[in-house]
Every structure is written in structure tokens, then in C-alpha cells.
Chains A and B, each alone.
Chain A
Amino acid sequence: MKPLYTLLFFILCSCSIVTLAQTGKIRGTLRFNEGTPVAAAVVYIEALDRHTVSDLDGLYELDDIPYGSYAVEVRSIEAEKSVTEVTVDKPLVTFTPQLKESSYQLGEVIVKGTTEKRIIETKGFAVNVIETEQEGLKNIQTNDLLNRSVGVTVRQDGGLGSAVSYNLNGMSGNSVRIFVDDIPISAYGSSFSLNSIPPSLIERIEVYKGVIPSHLTDDALGGAINVVLKKEMRNSLTASLSYGSFNTFQANINGRYRHDKSGFTLTLSGFHNYSDNDYEVWGKFVRNILPNGRYEYVRARRFNDAYRSTGSRIEMGFTDVVWADQFFVGYNGSDDYNEIQHGTYMSIPYMGRFSESQSHAFNLIYRKRDLFLPGLDLQLSGVYGNRSQVVNDTVRWNYNWYGEKSMGLYGDPILRPNGAQQGAPTISHTHRDIFTLRSGVAYTIIPRHKVLINHSYYTIDRREFDEMRSEAEQAFVGRRDLQKHVATLSYEMTTLGDRLRSNLFVKFYRQMIDRMDPVLTLDNGEQIRTEERVNSTRKAAGYGLALSYALLPELLLLTSAEKAVRMPSENELFGSIGENIVENPHINPEVSNNLNIGFKAGDYYMGAQRFSFSATGFLRDTRDKIVRQINPRLNDAIQTSPFENLGKTQSLGIEAEANYAYDDKLSLLFNLSRFNTLFNMKEDAAGNRLDYYRKQMPNEPWFTFNSTAQYTLFNLLQKRSQLHIHYSFRFVESFQTTWLDIEDFRVPRQYIQDAGFSYLFPGKKFVVSFDVRNLFDRQVYDNFAVQKPGRAFYLKLNYTINHINI
């Protein structure tokens, strides 16, 4: 496979020089004569029926414009209409008209921009697109943004940097995959995660639920979160600094430079996050155990929970040149340090358990439209990642919530029951080399009919050892190499006068795993080490469909369905001695039949008011779920058991969202998600109906509600300044965490409120934001017996320079 890619790439490079591009871009900045940018203006080419809307800085871009001359019209409430002739004869044409301020207010102008968000959301998939342009200025984490989004539940074990899991419409764990710019995030390592990437470096986040478009080529069974990093179009530099409660400090910087003549482009970004996470915890799970075993309930600060992450990304290459729309080589490096305060429950605090990880990733991106023929687009991207992680847990004593050694009856410190804080003492090193290569070809056969072929190749090579074991044992460890190919073929069609959009796709999965385990064999009475090698290959296929039908211009019906597949992981197949899992080479892929049916209505206008609604009903019918076999009879001294295909679950639910806006002053958003994840095994082997059949599985937050409100005051303190005041509210219904519905084992009902404001100074370069999280200092739990931070204050300064002339 690898030689093929290399060959393809060379052919590309050599051919592209002689191939002429057929389309180009028009880009520019709309400004008034005196230089102030014109935001929210419509740039329109009537001949092509193409339009776009300028952003806050007056910047706009129209791409995919066939060579030729066009009348480009600019309209805005603030400016007088202008029409100019523009000739597109090269990949990038700059058109920067100067506009006159209008002396009158227009009666009614409805501006309908087709944003990237709108394009993605109307393809038929059940998808949320979270735009971060506004949010990036606030004191908010990427995980918080996801959590507020409809149908997404983020469950985190504490403050900044703590372990996190995602639930998309009832599907969680291994069935939810995360991508960065369409590449699986595992290529970058845990130090570059949704915990560490700040919203200000993100362009948008796409959350696909149940049905995954074919360009995210992976065996994502339940959903995918795709983080699209910022790709600034202009020369700019933005930086922000934030400081707040729990000694939380966050900084980030993002810059871009393009040399117009040569197309040379350089982007740079970096982040640094630090928090002590020493927030207070209290209540029935927070207790010190006295020497005689009795409880003393306390209110204490977390003491072993600090988090630090640092990362940078540099990309250089060429954009909008004859031979490439984008060609970049880049490096992404990150590093983190994370203290771990407790295990699954906070009732026993840990001291000195922490993890450290580093990653170095090198990437290459190539994108070109109309490569050999008009309508033939190609993209290639490859990432090589080198990741390492150390988990360190060697402290032998029990600690109480004051961070002191817990004393026994006779005044001596008590040893931990398993030797260290969480388990046996460990300094466990894991190194991974990951290589992933993605390619995609799209061909528009005739307008409105497009075929796409995507392929991804992923290989991981893992080595591990534990410093706390003896030298002989350390040398005696196996290796696991995994390779995965996912190929997809899809057909996109727009018919019925552009009212029906359909996307039909098939996906092929192929996975190969090599296992090497050392074994001792007797040779002439002497034990010698030999290597036992086994490999396993398995294939699977899935298919699906996404449809959107415009019943009325403002009313879209959306349906999507997929037979989704998740291949077994290396541990599930080959077992892991450390985790007492034995191999099961006969395990089958997990399969889920996923269905979404919904609608999107809006925007509707009533004077200055704007409404929109959407709702989706969903079904996730999972079969052959891979679960750990439970076998109590097995000898516990070698307590091992395999994974097997046994489980069956079904999630059934709805989600809905409503938006309201008044002028550009007020905006309100409400969403709710309610589902049942049902135990779906009907009978035991003897044919008796199981009591849990079609009952809610424990430990699933099944009903959540979010609302956010934002109000903008213009020219309050200074002319041309803006003050945004925002408030958000989240409700999570109480849920049981075990099959036994005991009050003590329920996570209580929760109401969480945040508020804040952002002040945008005139000139739009400088923004100050102040936020209060968990306004009423409530006890918040994502997971049973794990309290999240109480009330916290944060201040953030953002600075943007948009017109750099070097």
C-alpha cells in the first residue's frame, strides 16, 4: 500500500505543473472609506448565484469560481450597494472594494448566508456544528462547548485536564471516535486532546451522531467528533491570556502569514494550560477515615490534581498556487503532566499518582481542486506520531483528604491495600508509533452528481514496560502491531430542483494485528526464550445513507441510517497479561444499526425576530457488543477471562433545539436530549425472560437540558464598542448508577448555571472577558461520587492583529 501512495504522490506533483486550474477564489476585505471593516455584508455574483457574508473584520471569500469575468455585488445595511467587474484568471484574486456608509436604514433586508455550518447541517446527517468564533473569546473549555451541544454528554472526572468520556445519543466509550482535521486524534497523543486544545484555536467542531460521513474514515460505531482547527485566511496574529480560580492559567497564540506573490504560507499556534485544580469538595463522599475505621466528614481542597499541558503546531507550505490549493508540512508537539486525585470514586484520595505524556507528530497535507479535469478534487494527508506516556504510582501510604498520611490504630501510617495508590506500585512506560495516511478523491461527474472515494490507513506499534518489575520480567514483554484500512465509496446527488440531497455510502474495513509474545521453551534441559508470533486479519463492511429533503425552503427533513461497525481492539482480540485478559481470536466486530429521523425548520423572520427549530429522533441497535466474559469459577490466582460478543443494547430517544434572536442584540438557545439506553438481551440460555430486558441501563445520564442566552449592548462605554452578556443553564436529571436503584447510588438532579460578559473595545482588536462558572456553587457530578469544581471566576484578555504587513 505504501509504495502506491508514494507513486500517486509523485504523479500528482509532476502533473499538476502542466495542468491548469479551472477555478479560482475571490478574496478580500470590505472597508468603509475611512478604513473601518464592514461586517455582515453580502458579496454576491448574480451570474453564478453564489454569495458569501463578510465576517467581523470585513473579510470574505468566494471559492470555486470558474475563470471568467463577473459582476460582483456588495450589499450591506451599513453601506451603499456597490457593483464591480472582477476577472478571475488565477487561483486567487484579491478584490477589496471601498464602500460608502449608507445614509439611510433599509426597511427590511433578509440576509441568508450559506455558511459552512449550514452546508454541513443540511446534508442529511445528524450533526451539530459548534462554531467557536464567539466562544473562543470567553473563558470556556472545549469540553464545555461540546457539553452544551445537543445530544452530547461530556462526563469528566473533575477539573481541567481530568479524564473525560463522551456520550453521543447514548453511545459512548470505544464507539465514539475523535478526529482533528479528519485525522484520528490518537495520532497526536493524550497531550493534544480536547482537554488541552483551546476553543480559540478551533474553527468549528462537527459532532456526527450515529451516521458518520465517509470522509471520516474510521470504524466509529456510535459517532464522531471532528475538530477543525483554524485555517486563517488572512495575515493575522491573535493571542489570549486567562487567569482564574484554582490558580488556572491559560495562554494561547495563533498566527498566520502568507506571501501573496509566491503563495508561501506559514501558520503557527501554541497553547499552555495550567491549573492546580485545588477546588473544594464536600458531602457524603468526602470523609477522612479515623484510625478505628469511623468516618469524619470534612470539607477539603483537592491536593493531588494539578494539570499542565503545553503544545505548539507549526505548518508551512503554499496555498492557492497553480499546483495546489494547499500544501503543508507541519509539526505538532505537545507535553502534559496530570496528577490523579482519585480512582472511580472520590471516597479514597490519592497522593502522588500522576501521568506524563509527550508526543511529536509530523504531518503533510495536500489539497487540490480540479486536478486533471474540472470537477476532480484530490486530498492527501499523512501524520506520523511518536507518543510516549508514563504512569507513575509508587506512594505506599493511605492519605486523608487533608493530604496527610492516614494513621492506624497504633499511630503508624497505614499501607495502601494494593501496595500503591490505585493498585500495585508502577512506573509504567508506553511508547507508540502511529502512522496514518488518508486520501480522498472526489469527482463531479455532472453538476449535482459527485462520487467520492476515501481511504485511510492506520498503523500503530506499541511497546511497554514497567520499571517497578524485575529486570527479567521487564525483558519479557510482548509487542502488538495493528494495521487498519478503511475504504469508503460514496455518491452524492442533488435532485428534484435542489430539494433532495442524498448521500449513499459503503465502507470496507480491514484490520491486521501482529502479536509477538516471548515464551520460555526447554532446550536440552535449559529454558530458552523464543518468540511466538501470531497474526490475525479480519474484514467487515458497512453501508449507509443520508437524505435531506426541502419540503419548504425553510423546512428540511433529514434522515440518515448506517450499519456501523467497530473492529475489536488489540486487547479485546489478543488479551493483555497486565489486565488479565486472555485472547479470543474468534471475536467478531461489533455492529450497530443506527437511524436518525428529524427536521430543521428556519430561519423564520418576524420583523427583527428570528426563529429556528430542529428535532431528531434516533435509534441505536447494537448487536454483538464486545464485553468481558464473566466467569466466577475461574481460578482467581490466574483470574483471567476473554472478551466475547455477547451484549445487546438499544438506545432510543429524541433531541431538540430551538433558537431565537432579536435583531443582533439578543439570542437564546434551548436544547434537550432524552433517551433510553435499554438492556436488550431478552432471554437467558434456558429461554427465561430476563428482568432487565428493555430496562434502562445503569449509569447513563438520560435526560439533559441546556439553554444559553446572550445580550449585546452596543456603544455602551465607548463608541463602536460591544458588550456581550451571556448566561447558560444546564439541567441533568437524576440517574441510577447500579441495577439496584438505591437512593445512595443515584446521581442527584443537577442545575448548573454560568454567567459572564465580554467587552469588545472599539477597533475590535482587544476583548476582555469575565466569567463565573457554577454561579451558585452547587455540587456537580458527571460521574457518581466524583464532584466537579464549585464556583470559579476567570478573566481573559484577547488581542488580535489582523493586518500585518511584513
Chain B
Amino acid sequence: MNTKLIRTTLFTAIAAFLFTGCENETLTDNRETTPDTERWITVAGALMGENPGDGNGGTMVYAVSYEDARDPNASINVFDDGFSVKSNRTARLQSSEDGNTLFNIAYTGENGGEFSRYSVNGGNHFVQEDVTVSIAQYAGTSPRWAKLFDGDRTGIAVNVANITANNAGSGSAEPFRYYRGIATVLALDLQEVVISGYRQYEIPLSEEEELLGHTLFRLDAPVLNKAGDKVIIGTWMQKRNPLTGETESDFARLGTKSVVVDYPSLENPQVITSTVSDGDCSGYRSFNSFLADDGNIYQATQRGSNGSWILRINSNNQYDNTYRFSLDEALGITHSYIESWRYAGNGIAYVMYSHDDSANATFNSEERQSFLARVDLTAGTAHQVELPYEPDLYFFQYQGFLVNGDEVYVAVTPVGRDGHIYILNSRTGAVTKGARLINKAGNHYIGIY
């Protein structure tokens, strides 16, 4: 079995090399990167709260060896055997690069906003370290954060609060000019477990945009640029009607915007705007922008008028409007929606998405089926990954892709049904079925770390 697997993988790898090898100049060196075979591989599952698939019942984790994760005859049952991460709702997990430490910020609840570290010792032996740090005072009890890819040194948490009109308050005769909130950008030292810096400011848009009622509703998914001197933060835009204060659901969207701040000072916020897409670029519960090998940052968009796009931010920290990657066009679908994605190296990324023709989920008719595609950012192409798709495959809350050398690990379980770990070889495109994931009704697996 194993030798056959290796042979297949090898063959696919060679084939892929032969066909694509010479084309890519900037992104791909195409040398095989070997995975770490000694590390722990942690699987996370979300329990349902009141409704199937809502993921609001909390998060459980379980760690297995490299071999077990890859063994299709092995079974992992995180819901019966796992360790409960201390978070009221779905935990916001990230892991250290070596897989030995799990980082968590509890989401809502008495300890919402509390950052803690767990050492991974295999099975359900996770030990919470003594020291915790709370960012709740700065970023609230349901904070949005991401780990920078800087060797597990830094996490950045962001927040926008108290969006109000400039003329708020009884008796104000001032004319309306803008809705603005107070933004917080905070750096967390993941090693020392302390807050290492923070800044709070208003981030204005252009005068015209603000007069129409556009405002930065949320910040999320920060990423560090190649030079290491700027952090680029995704945004979620909102428009309110200045005459009523009501949030509008149907409005002419502005171009996708990101906020660029100096690093490590976190000062000098600047807004950059894309002319390619008009979606938001805040992602959901996980990363949404990645620094690629070519020195550019690639950012996914959501809720735009023409489906999801992948945008490029160049080394000058500006949108590169000559780069156009529409997932709709690449896959021949309409109103694609990137739910979660991960850059895997060599210009290749894996994208979880849904679109207009997605089947309605059976666990909740308001939800719909998700898919997984392998995306070549250089060539601008995308191909659906061969997986056992079914209507209840639901990646909307998906958080964790483990990139281990050329291998990308994903947990593929429809809500309420068993599934498997799949190991995707980013270089070759090969798909390998790994350990079986035992599920329970209403629950789903949300990540591998």
C-alpha cells in the first residue's frame, strides 16, 4: 500500500515537473521541500451549539504522529478523545511552525480575548502554560488576530469600535461629514506572552466616500510584507445611510481597501484601494493574505459584486492593478466566495470556496456546499481538487491548513459525517487520503495545525 502510494506520488511529481517546470520564473524554484516527519499533527473540530454546523459549542483538539495522520486506516475521534480548548465559542487557533505549541485566543465568554499557549504532547495531552495575556481591554472579548509569518514571534490583533457619525448627539447642528470608528492595532509577543505594542486611531476614507456613508466596519487578517516594515490589514466595508443611520445592504461598493501601517511601530495608517475588485478582504476566522515567494502579497476578496478575486499587493505596498485573478473566470463559475485559503509555496495556493451553483446544505438550508481548488497564482489558473464532495461539505468556518514542506493537510468532513485528512502535494497536485476523521451529528472538523 505504502510503496504504491509513494510510487504514485513520485510519478505525479515527475510528470508535474516535466509539464510545468520551465515556465515559472519568479515564483517557482520547483525544488522538492521535504516535510518534517517528526512533528505532531493536531486536528481541531468544532462542536455544534444549538444548531447543526454552527460551530458554537466550543473546540476540541487531538494530536497524532506524522505517520498516523497519513495512514488511511488510522482513525481520529476528536469529539470523544480530544482535549477541550478553553473557549466559549469556536477557538481561534494557530500553531507554531514546529507544531509543538498551539496558540489560542478565546472568543467571547468570561475569558474572551485571553491568549494562551498549549504545549502539544500527542493524543489529548495538551498542557496549558501558566502565563496568559488578555488583549480584551484593547481589542474586545471577540478579537480578530493572525500570527505573522516571522518565526512565531508576533501576533497582530485588530479591532474597530464605536462607529459614530461626526454629528452624533442630541442638539448637534453640525452637518454630517462621516461615520468613523476607533481602530486598534496591537502586537502580541508570542514567545514572552506579553503585549508588545499598540496604537489606536481613526482611519479616514476620502471625503466623498465618507459623505456617502462608507466606513471601515472591521479590520482583520493582518500580514507582514517582505521588507518587514509594513503590516497590511484587510478590511470589511459598511455603508450607512446618513439620513437614517441604518446599515444598507444594497449599495454601490467601493474598490477593495486595505490599511497599511508601519511595522513595528504600528503607526501611520494609510488606506490603499484596488481598482480590480470591490469585495471585502477581511477573511473569516483565519488568514486571508499571504506573502508569496515572489515578494508580493496575495489577498482574497469576499462579497464583491463579481465573485471572489485574488489581488496582488506589490513590494511598494500598493495594489498591483495589472494583476487580475478572478476565481469566477478561472473556474468558470459565478459569484464565487472564498471561504478560507492558504498559500502553499511556489505560487500555489489551495482555496475553499462556494458559488451560485453550490448545492444547499442539508444540515441547514441557509448554508451551501463548499469546494476546494488548487490555484496557480502565477499562471492565473485554478482546478477543483478531486475530493468526495457532498452537499454538507462546509468550509465556511474552516481555519487550519497545515503546510509541511510540499504537503498541505486539510480536514475534509461534511457536517455530521465522517471524513478524512487529505494530504495535497502543492508541487505536484497529488491528492492522498490520510487518517479517517470520526464525526458526530452537527459537528465538523475545522483545521489541521
Residues of A with Cβ closer than 8 Å to B? 285, 289, 291-295, 344-345, 347-348, 398, 406, 408-409, 414-420, 424-425, 467-474, 476, 518, 520, 527, 577, 627, 629-633, 635-638, 646-647, 683-686, 688-692, 738-742, 744-745, 784-785
Whole-angstrom CA separation of A294 from B237 in the bound complex: 33
User: From residue A350, how far is it (CB to closest CB) to chain B in Å?
Assistant: 13
Q: Which of B52, B238, B362, B368 has the most CB of A within 10 A?
A: B52
Q: Is B3 an interface residue (CB 8 A)?
A: no
25 residue pairs of the A-B complex, CB under 8 angstroms, read A289-B137, A294-B193, A406-B137, A408-B138, A417-B140, A417-B184, A418-B162, A420-B162, A424-B161, A468-B168, A470-B245, A471-B170, A527-B243, A631-B364, A633-B366, A635-B249, A637-B280, A686-B362, A689-B441, A690-B48, A691-B47, A738-B58, A740-B47, A740-B57, A740-B58
Q: Would B244 and A472 count as touching, CB distance under 8 A?
A: yes
Q: Would B167 and A471 count as touching, CB distance under 8 A?
A: yes
Q: Which of A470, A476, A738, A742 has the most CB of B within 10 A?
A: A470
Q: Which residue of B lies closest to A518 (CB)?
A: B244
Residues of B within 8 A of A520 (CB): 241, 243-244
Whole-angstrom CA separation of A419 from B168 in the bound complex: 13
Whole-angstrom CA separation of A418 from B167 in the bound complex: 18
Whole-angstrom CA separation of A424 from B176 in the bound complex: 19
Whole-angstrom CA separation of A637 from B242 in the bound complex: 16
Residues of B within 8 A of A469 (CB): 164-165, 168-169, 245
Whole-angstrom CA separation of A452 from B197 in the bound complex: 72
Q: Would A691 and B195 count as touching, CB distance under 8 A?
A: no
Q: Would A470 and B172 count as touching, CB distance under 8 A?
A: yes
Whole-angstrom CA separation of A558 from B198 in the bound complex: 66
Q: Is B33 an interface residue (CB 8 A)?
A: no
Q: Would B364 and A685 count as touching, CB distance under 8 A?
A: yes
Q: Would B241 and A647 count as touching, CB distance under 8 A?
A: no
Q: Is B416 an interface residue (CB 8 A)?
A: yes
Q: Would A347 and B217 count as touching, CB distance under 8 A?
A: no
Residues of B within 8 A of A295 (CB): 132, 134
Whole-angstrom CA separation of A741 from B56 in the bound complex: 14
User: From residue B346, how far is it (CB to closest CB) to chain A in Å?
Assistant: 32
Which residue in B161, B362, B417 is a CB contact (below 8 Å) of A419?
A: B161
Residues of B within 8 A of A691 (CB): 47-48, 79, 440-443
Which residue in B86, B194, B200 is a CB contact (below 8 Å) of A742?
A: B86
Q: Would A473 and B392 count as touching, CB distance under 8 A?
A: no
Q: Which residue of B lies closest to A472 (CB)?
A: B243
| Known contacts A470-B172, A472-B245, A686-B416; is-contact A630 B162 (Cβ 8 Å) | no
| Known contacts A471-B172, A688-B417, A738-B57; is-contact A419 B443 (Cβ 8 Å) | no
Whole-angstrom CA separation of A600 from B48 in the bound complex: 43
Whole-angstrom CA separation of A358 from B243 in the bound complex: 32
Q: Is B136 an interface residue (CB 8 A)?
A: yes
Q: Would A293 and B303 count as touching, CB distance under 8 A?
A: no
Whole-angstrom CA separation of A685 from B415 in the bound complex: 11
8 A Cβ contacts from B181-218 to A: 181-182, 184, 188, 193-198, 200, 217-218
Residues of B within 8 A of A470 (CB): 165, 167-169, 172, 176, 242, 245
Q: Which residue of A lies closest to B83 (CB)?
A: A742
Q: Which residue of B lies closest to A396 (CB)?
A: B162
Q: Would A638 and B247 count as touching, CB distance under 8 A?
A: yes
Q: Is B397 an interface residue (CB 8 A)?
A: yes
Residues of A within 8 A of B131 (CB): 294
Residues of A within 8 A of B363 (CB): 684-686
Q: Is B159 an interface residue (CB 8 A)?
A: yes
* Contacts between the two chains (Cβ within 8 Å), count: 216
Q: B107-115, B292-300, B400-408: which one contacts chain A?
A: B107-115
Q: Would A419 and B198 count as touching, CB distance under 8 A?
A: no
| Known contacts A415-B182, A684-B442; is-contact A398 B392 (Cβ 8 Å) | no
| Known contacts A637-B218, A684-B52; is-contact A293 B168 (Cβ 8 Å) | no
8 A Cβ contacts from B248-277 to A: 248-249
Whole-angstrom CA separation of A740 from B111 in the bound complex: 15
User: From residue B121, how far is it (CB to closest CB) to chain A in Å?
Assistant: 18
Which residue in A474, A688, A744 is a CB contact (below 8 Å) of B441?
A: A688
Residues of B within 8 A of A577 (CB): 246
User: From residue A795, how far is it (CB to closest CB) to chain B in Å?
Assistant: 36
Which residue in B60, B218, B245, B303 is a CB contact (below 8 Å) of A476?
A: B245
Whole-angstrom CA separation of A535 from B118 in the bound complex: 55
Residues of A within 8 A of B169 (CB): 467-470
Q: Is B54 an interface residue (CB 8 A)?
A: yes
Whole-angstrom CA separation of A467 from B170 in the bound complex: 5
Residues of A within 8 A of B248 (CB): 638
Whole-angstrom CA separation of A62 from B54 in the bound complex: 62
Q: Which of B181, B246, B415 has the most CB of A within 10 A?
A: B246
Whole-angstrom CA separation of A406 from B416 in the bound complex: 45
Q: Digit string of B298-336 for contact with A (CB within 8 Å is 1, else 0)? A: 000001000000000000000000000000000000000
Whole-angstrom CA separation of A690 from B246 in the bound complex: 39
Q: Would B51 and A414 count as touching, CB distance under 8 A?
A: no
Residues of B within 8 A of A344 (CB): 110
Whole-angstrom CA separation of A423 from B424 in the bound complex: 44
Whole-angstrom CA separation of A295 from B136 in the bound complex: 11
Q: Is B151 an interface residue (CB 8 A)?
A: no
Q: Would A414 and B161 count as touching, CB distance under 8 A?
A: no
User: From residue B349, how far is it (CB to closest CB) to chain A in Å?
Assistant: 22
Q: Is B25 an interface residue (CB 8 A)?
A: no
Q: Closest 3 A-B residue pairs measured CB to CB? A: A419-B162, A473-B245, A417-B140
Whole-angstrom CA separation of A646 from B50 in the bound complex: 10
8 A Cβ contacts from B128-164 to A: 131-141, 159, 161-164
Q: Would A415 and B243 count as touching, CB distance under 8 A?
A: no
User: From residue B133, how far is it (CB to closest CB) to chain A in Å?
Assistant: 4
Which residue in A294, A467, A637, A741 is a CB contact (below 8 Å) of B133?
A: A294
Residues of B within 8 A of A690 (CB): 48, 52, 440-442
Q: Would A409 and B198 count as touching, CB distance under 8 A?
A: yes
Residues of A within 8 A of B415 (CB): 684
Q: Is B449 an interface residue (CB 8 A)?
A: no
User: From residue A465, how far is it (CB to closest CB) to chain B in Å?
Assistant: 9
Q: Would A417 and B136 count as touching, CB distance under 8 A?
A: yes
Residues of B within 8 A of A635 (CB): 249, 303
Q: Would B247 and A637 count as touching, CB distance under 8 A?
A: yes
Q: Digit string of B29-62 for contact with A (CB within 8 Å is 1, else 0)? A: 0000000000000000001111110111110100
Q: Would B198 and A632 count as touching, CB distance under 8 A?
A: no
Q: Digit string of B359-383 for contact with A (CB within 8 Å is 1, else 0)? A: 0001111111000000000000000
Residues of A within 8 A of B139 (CB): 417
